[in-house]
Each structure stands twice: as C-alpha cells, then as structure tokens.
C-alpha cells in the first residue's frame, strides 16, 4: 500500500466542515476561536511534495444543544468533550507524524489533558480506518505542540530552528510562540 493511504483515508472520512484548507503557499492557519484569547493563530507551511492533512474539531457549542463533535457525551460532565485547536497528519517516508496542536493564552493549564484527549480521539479514528483497511501498517508518531503567549518564553522557543520535545506524561510535547510562521520540517 502507498505510504500516504492513512492520510487519504483520514481526509475522506472527516467531514469537510472540519478540514483546515491550506492557502496558495501550502500554509495552514490554526485558529483559536475564543474571542477573549490572546493567542489567536499560528501558521505552518508544508512542502508541496509532502503528503499531509489538517483538521480541527474545536467547534463551539450552541446554547441548549449538545456538543457538535461529541453529541453522544453529556457536555456537563467535565473534560469529556475536551477538544484541541488542530490535528495535523504528515507523512515522511514510512512514518506518519500526528501533531496534536493546542493554542493557549497566558495560562496554559489543562493543555496536556486536551492533547491526550486528542490522541485518544485520533487513535479511535485510526482503528476504525484499519477495521475497513486491515492492510494498513503505517508507523505512527504522536507529538503535542503547545503554542502560547507566555510573558516569559520557554527555553526551547524557536521560529527557525529544530523544535525539541519533552516527554510529558507519555506524550512528546514542545512549546512554541503564537502568532508566528513555522515550517513543518522544524517539527519533524
């Protein structure tokens, strides 16, 4: 099977309303929809030759309605409907990188639980895809990225160099600054 079969399957199975469409320079913009947030966006540019797919499940609840992403969960039960701002699938040779992205303002509390919830969600989707396509044997590497507007930047913040990850509760996580333009190669 071609290396990007999992990306193609993911693209086909996710409702288009959730897709993040790249612009003419192959850049996706991950947005924080909360109006009061100070960390509003981050741009990530891809090589044209690199298979990728981006989507977001961060859809707001409408008053008196259930959660639009998890309608089968009671939204009043804490953290069940936790979502993150973006999920990127990037194929590089025989490995699929899955980037779980969270944008936070000055106080990045609870971000790790949101990233872990996203990993569980993506695992569920991948297992469903493999149920329909049992020949898929793609090696998957999860990475969490917290983009924040902290006043004191973390040591590893960089706009140009390779990003360094730290194991946080079993997930490789990096922290970067908001409102910047990055190249996907920095995160690989």
Instruction: Specify which of 2-6, 23-27, 80-84, 147-151 reaches the highest per-range mean pLDDT.
Output: 23-27
* Model pTM score: 0.85
Tell me how crowded residue 159 is: count the other CB atoms within 10 A of its CB: 11
- Return d(Cα 164, Cα 155) in angstroms, integer: 10
pLDDT tens digits, 100-138: 999 987 667 788 988 998 999 899 999 989 898 888 888
Strand order in the sheet with 171-177: 52-55, 86-92, 95-104, 139-148, 171-177, 166-168
Domains in the chain: boundaries: 5-64+79-187
Task: Read off the tokens for 32.
Answer: 């924080």
């Amino acid at each position: 099977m071609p290396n990007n079969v999992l990306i193609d399957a993911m693209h086909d199975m996710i409702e288009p309303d959730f897709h993040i469409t790249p612009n003419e320079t192959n850049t996706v913009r991950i947005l924080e929809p909360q109006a009061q947030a100070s960390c509003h966006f981050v741009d990530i540019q891809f090589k044209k030759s690199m298979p990728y797919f981006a989507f977001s499940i961060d859809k707001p609840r409408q008053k008196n309605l259930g959660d639009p992403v998890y309608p089968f969960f009671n939204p009043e039960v804490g953290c069940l409907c936790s979502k993150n701002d973006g999920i990127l699938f990037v194929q590089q040779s025989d490995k699929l990188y899955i980037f779980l992205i969270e944008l936070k303002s000055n106080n990045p509390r609870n971000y790790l639980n949101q990233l872990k919830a996203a990993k569980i969600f993506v695992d569920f989707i991948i297992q469903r895809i493999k149920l329909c396509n049992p020949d898929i044997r793609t090696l998957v590497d999860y990475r969490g990225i917290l983009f924040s507007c902290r006043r004191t930047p973390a040591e590893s913040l960089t706009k140009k160099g390779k990003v360094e990850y730290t194991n946080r509760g079993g997930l490789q996580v990096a922290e970067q600054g908001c409102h910047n333009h990055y190249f996907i190669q920095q995160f690989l």
